[in-house]
Amino acid sequence: MNYFEIKPTKLSEKPDPIAISAEEKRRMNFQQGQEELQRRRKQLEEEQQREEQALRERFFFLIFFFFRNILTFFFFFLSFNSFNKKRREKEERERRFDFELLN
């Protein structure tokens, strides 16, 4: 094979280093650079997806506890009001009873 007569090769194949032209070397470097960029993009996308998932989980966690606390307060308020209502009714009954005893 004549060194001036280079067969086209696939970029993934490693051709004979002596027989590599400057154009092929440039093409191989470009291809390697593109592969590295794709690898880094994929890595960055995966990292961003993990961060978004963690953010969503924290958000739902905070929303859940926020509404849980609101509901807890609401039910406490309802039970407190019903307790006060029962206490007031009992006091009213006692006052009426005492009033009836005095009359």
Domain presence at residue 10? no
Domain presence at residue 45? yes
Burial classification of residue 92, based on how many CB atoms lie within 10 Å of its CB (0-12 exposed, 13-18 middle, 19 or more buried): exposed
Matching residue, tokens 């960029």: 37
Domain presence at residue 49? yes
Domain presence at residue 30? yes
DSSP 13: S
Mean pLDDT of 30-41: 95
Domain presence at residue 9? no
Please give the pLDDT value at position 66: 92
CA angle 17, 19, 21 (to 5 degrees): 95
Does the pLDDT of residue 15 top 60, yes or no? no
Does the pLDDT of residue 10 top 60, yes or no? no
Domain presence at residue 6? no
pTM, 2 dp: 0.45
Domain presence at residue 64? yes
The count of domains in the chain is: 1
Tokens (6 digits) for 78: 């309802």
Cβ proximity of 31 and 11 under 8 Å: yes
Domain presence at residue 89? yes
Count of other CB atoms within 10 angstroms of residue 24:
15
Identify the domain containing residue 57 by its residue range.
Answer: 18-102
Confidence band, pLDDT 50/70/90 cuts, at residue 1? very low
Mean pLDDT of 18-45: 90
Cβ proximity of 27 and 11 under 8 Å: yes
Express each pLDDT in 45-97 by its tens digit.
Answer: 999 999 999 999 999 999 999 999 988 888 888 777 777 788 888 888 888 88
